[in-house]
Amino acid sequence: TIFLGVESSCDDTSIAVINNEGTILANVVSSQIKEHAPFGGVVPELASRAHLRNIPVVFQQAMDQAQIGLDDIDVVAVTHGPGLIGSLLVGVNFAKSLAFGRNLPLVPVNHIRGHIRALFLEHGDLPLPALTLIVSGGHTHLFLVETPDHFVLLAKTRDDAAGEAFDKLAKMLDLGFPGGAIVDKLAQSGDPKAFPFNMPRFSDGALDYSFSGLKTAAAHQLRRDPQRFSEPEGQAIRDLCASFQSAVVRHLLQRVRQALKVEKVASLSLGGGVACNSHLRQSFRELGDKYRLPTYITAPKLSTDNAAMIAAEGRHLFQQGITGSLDLNPEVRLNAFDEVRLLTGR
Ligand code: ATP
Ligand code: FE
């Protein structure tokens, strides 16, 4: 059985092919950095138009890379949410047309469950239950993955997502788009102790994530002494990037430690675009070593948006007899969890 995955939830157009064993035969990603860079963030209308232009090209590249033809595709899996409506519509309609035209089963996939499935795609034998942190441009979710199908939400962000926070810092410092990777690079030659950042705290004792306070603290440093940050890529900017990044990572791991106090787990895992962050990768592994837990992190190519993870989730669902119908519509909001058991400080 050959599975085609289609992903267009945000600003990456991607089509992938995986086989019955879950081997990736093609995973083509076309990013829209050029389209959105002048605006310092994703412009939904432009994203949608770029998906429309790119999707036939990306499809052909994926077919060539996998060395297959239309006749070889058995199942079409597509991201139907969460994401930007105009972006989702392009992928969903492409997948629906293909499924209708070739009379193939269509499997709707939740994008965030796809980010989790990427971990299984890469590390099939991941010991469960796993404590799984998914950090991306739109989500910061700490899950207890109890079985390959049952995900418990332990913590989520109240405001910005971790990736969004990196992107906003980059915008504030005029570093370019997309910000996360640039902050990561500049932070490598900065002093993480140069600027103080307090860990977020809530009066109700909740153990949610929150990144907007860290963003405000960074903005405050900028406003206090703009002169100091005037040299592009200067030392002050590097120091602020390093200090901010260190605070974000500390905050992310704070909740992981808290969860380890209450949940018995067999492994730790990390996915989503922010899993590309070098400091987070290193600190996450160190945490795993400290608790003597096997630790799994998706490779960068499977961390940021890609259709291989969508094809993998489609395969997982299809093997359980789960398929959708041709009246499938995109869902802007869609929960990735089966159960909520939020951590609390009490
Ligand atoms: P979601 O998955 O929540 O719908 P998304 O699909 O837009 O959001 P991803 O593609 O999974 O998000 O991740 C993109 C995010 O990852 C961006 O915010 C980007 O800045 C961030 N990111 C990528 N590389 C790094 C890095 N090295 N350090 C920090 N952040 C990074
Ligand atoms: Fe994503």
- Binned at pLDDT 50, 70 and 90, residue 207 comes out as very high
141 lines ligand 1 (CB under 6 A): no
Confidence class for position 21, pLDDT limits 50, 70, 90: very high
CA distance 337 to 112: 9
Give the model confidence (pLDDT) of 95-119 as tens digits: 999 999 999 999 999 999 999 999 9
pTM of the model: 0.97
pLDDT at 346 over 80: no
Q: What is the pLDDT of residue 166?
A: 98
Query: What's the confidence (pLDDT) of residue 33?
Result: 94
Annotated binding site: 111, 115, 134-138, 167, 180, 184, 277, 305
Distance in angstroms (rounded) separating the CA atoms of residues 173 and 266: 40
Q: In Å, how far from its chain's centre is CA 115? A: 6
Residue 40: the pLDDT is: 87
Question: Which residue has a Cα nearest atom 29 of ligand 1?
Answer: 180
Looking at the DSSP bridge assignments, the partners of residue 28 are: 15
pLDDT over 90 (residue 125): no
Closest ligand relative to 161 C-alpha: 1
Q: How many residues does the chain have?
A: 346
Query: Which ligand approaches the C-alpha of residue 298 most closely?
Result: 1
* Ligand 1 close to Cβ of residue 239 (< 6 A): no
Residue range 18-38: mean pLDDT, rounded: 96
Ligand 1 neighbour 114 (Cβ under 6 A): no
CB 36 less than 6 A from any atom of ligand 1? no
Share of the chain above pLDDT 90, in %: 97
Cα 202 to Cα 329: distance, rounded to the nearest angstrom: 38
ipTM at complex level: 0.99
Give me the residues paired with residue 13 across strands: 30
The confidence band for 322, taking pLDDT boundaries of 50, 70 and 90, is very high
